Structure 1
Amino acid sequence: MAANSDEILHDFSPLLKHYKDGRIERLVGLDVVPPSVDPKTGVQSKDVEISPEINVSARLYLPKNPDRSRKLPLLVYFHGGGFLVESAFCSQYQNHLHCLVAEANVVAVSVNYRLAPEHPLPIAFEDSWLALEWIVSQSTEEWINDYADLGRVFFGGDSAGGNIAHNMALRIGTQKLDGINLSGVILNCPFFYGKDPIGNEGADHFNFWKNYNDKLLPYVCPCMSDCDEPWINPAKDEKLSSLGCKKVLVYVAEKDFLKDRGCYYKEILSKSGWHGDVELVEVKGEDHCFNVLYPDSENGIPMLKKVASFINGS
């Protein structure tokens, strides 16, 4: 082993460390749990390969005792992790999807896209679009064919996954994808950013996270010119009004560094000329993606119920 093997080139703790010898050490989201039938909710899951040659896959979820005579909404979910860590197969996201699928009574596809830095952006976006194309191309996947209504599709995601959900919805609106009718998008503490601070981003107690994001973004997307590229700063996107759905639900957390970006997203989307409804919910006393960590907590349960109501139209 080289003498400098423990020297750190990039330190993105608490997510990842990249050493000068080329080693990449992921610090969270490493556990992999098998698909199962959840004893608490009765939700069952299974894994599918979308493009095995490039290692793109997904975990599918089906609620307890689904009725073949009445198809259910389909939720396509994109996990968070700063584009660097986590997977559709870790315990945290399996637990979150169990709770969400049970509460909303939906079929879900949790997409396992490839991660930076080995696979820098825009690869995560291309993998996610590939998953959407796979969904509409299915003729043999029973859970999608027999139980999912592709006329009622929702995209959802937290943090970086919320960013992906937004960008996929925008691509649906500008490029179209025959076979999917996107009904709505759920963004949980979405990872948006910009070159110039807004709101409280410049406050002293947020200095760590501002510096962190300033370094993280060119690391996950080396080809980017600056932090105002449209994929990370929707305020700079001339196509924002083409978002391919009619309703959006945005969740932000009071203590989260990204809170003001989520609030700003609602503002700019409302003023963009987009013909839809956007609702913002701020959860007091909570931090980034609290409900993914604790979906059955005091504030997590009302959020699950709100998302279920948003999907089912009540």
Structure 2
Amino acid sequence: MLSARAAGILLYIMVLSLLSGISGMASDNNPVIYDYSPYFLVYKDGSVKRLKAGEQTPAGLDPLTNVDSKDIRSSADVSARIYLPPININSNSTKLSLILYFRGGGFCIFSSASPIVHRHLNGLAAVSSSIILSVDYHRAPEHHIPVQYDDCWAALEWVASHRSDAEPWLLDHADYDRVYLAGDSAGGNIVHNLAMRVGSQGLISSYSLKLAGTILLDPYFWGKNLTASEKAADPVLRKKLDQLWGMICPESTAGNDDLRVNPLAAGAPSLADLGCTRMLLCTSEKDAMRDRALMYYEALTKGSEWRGTTAELYEAAGEDHEFYLNHPDSNNTAKLRARIAAFLT
């Protein structure tokens, strides 16, 4: 029988071992394999340690824009934040464009309640006079691709299939003939993949919902062979971007040439299959992923037989990736919002 002291030591060791497993504590047998400080660490055993809790901004009336917002659920697993701009009672129609918006953050950080996301969408809803549904998809690396695509697809189906008994703000004010998909960075990637799915499956038409267009802001596209803008990026940033897809989609056998992150890779389906008739692609001059956005636009407009009517390219001079999140009150952010608003009209 163990002595009281030996039993105490054994219990202490067991507790330490348990805590190590719960928190993802690094050890020689379980080293950190992905360091995305100051946000999170990923360990060899797949465990994830979030280094800080993300700030959360409650929904409600924004005094700066008079845009109202509230949190809803589009399914048992997926929530969303909906934004309603002031309604112009003197307008010929109170029906507004509806934007399904997918946030950025490398699929890994932020939420619909993150301050920079919330502020960005308040401003966009006000300038564009659109209802925005910000889908709060599950985050990687705790949830691997394709969970995020499936969450966003489910939200799109939810909007499409609830025409008669939708959330009141949608029922009363949304124009279902003017539904757009929009997103920044990882969200832009989601927009592309959902539009391809709409084109190949045609599920949305079965719900009589018209996908009027897509808006891609600094979309996250990557590949094995680096472009000039990627090579010119800060080496630390480039390394993290280069290993991002392998971390969030470890089951992929194609790595950075997976068709979901490199839509121009060998064997990728033609962009002619995109299930939208209008597109606005927005880039930033200093963005590491700028070249891929331009290649995507070139492939769509000159290298495919896309049946769309409008493809527009807008570039923010002198700006870096997602500048509109970091500088919401800048002149270039105001210009970008105005450009999006013009596209929606």
Structure 1 length as normaliser, TM-score?
0.92
Partner of 1:58: 80
Partner of 2:292: 261
- Secondary structure at the aligned position of 2:104 is classed as coil
- Secondary structure at the aligned position of 1:121 is classed as coil
- Secondary structure at the aligned position of 1:81 is classed as coil
Give the C-alpha shift of residue 77 in structure 1. Answer: 0.2
- Secondary structure at the aligned position of 1:48 is classed as strand
* Aligned residue type for 1:82: G
Partner of 1:125: 149
1:304 and 2:337 correspond: yes
CA distance in 2, matches of 1:292, 1:186: 16
* Aligned residue type for 2:327: Y
Structure 1 pair 25–267 and aligned structure 2 pair: CA distance change class (3 A): same
Q: 1:167 aligns with which of 183, 193, 208?
A: 193
Give the C-alpha shift of residue 311 in structure 1. Answer: 0.7
Partner of 2:25: 5
CA distance in 1, matches of 2:192, 2:79: 20
Q: Percent identity?
A: 39
The worse-fitting range, judged by mean Cα deviation, of 110-119 and 138-147 is 138-147
1:181 and 2:207 correspond: no
- Secondary structure at the aligned position of 1:10 is classed as strand
Q: 2:305 aligns with which of 269, 273, 294?
A: 273
Gaps of 5+ in 2: 1-15
- Secondary structure at the aligned position of 1:149 is classed as strand
CA distance in 2, matches of 1:221, 1:19: 15
- Secondary structure at the aligned position of 2:82 is classed as strand
Query: Where does 1:99-114 land on structure 2 (aligned, <5 Å)?
Result: 99-114=123-138
Partner of 1:288: 321
- Secondary structure at the aligned position of 1:200 is classed as helix
* Aligned residue type for 1:174: S
The Cα RMSD (Å) is 2.0
1:145-186 CA-partner distances (Å, limit 9, x unpaired): 110011101111100001001111111111121232111111
CA distance in 2, matches of 1:239, 1:150: 27
Preserved contact between residue 13 and residue 27 of structure 1 (Cα < 8 Å): no
1:224 and 2:252 correspond: yes
CA distance in 2, matches of 1:17, 1:189: 25
Q: 2:139 aligns with which of 95, 110, 115?
A: 115
1:59-118 CA-partner distances (Å, limit 9, x unpaired): 011111355953111011000010111111111111111100000001110000001111
Give the C-alpha shift of residue 239 in structure 1. Answer: 3.8
1:25 and 2:47 correspond: no
The worse-fitting range, judged by mean Cα deviation, of 251-260 and 94-103 is 251-260
Preserved contact between residue 253 and residue 283 of structure 1 (Cα < 8 Å): yes
Q: Which structure has the bigger radius of gyration? A: 2
CA distance in 1, matches of 2:38, 2:196: 30
* Aligned residue type for 2:49: I
CA distance in 1, matches of 2:160, 2:114: 26
Preserved contact between residue 80 and residue 161 of structure 1 (Cα < 8 Å): yes
1:177-197 CA-partner distances (Å, limit 9, x unpaired): 123211111111100011112
Give the C-alpha shift of residue 46 in structure 1. Answer: 0.8
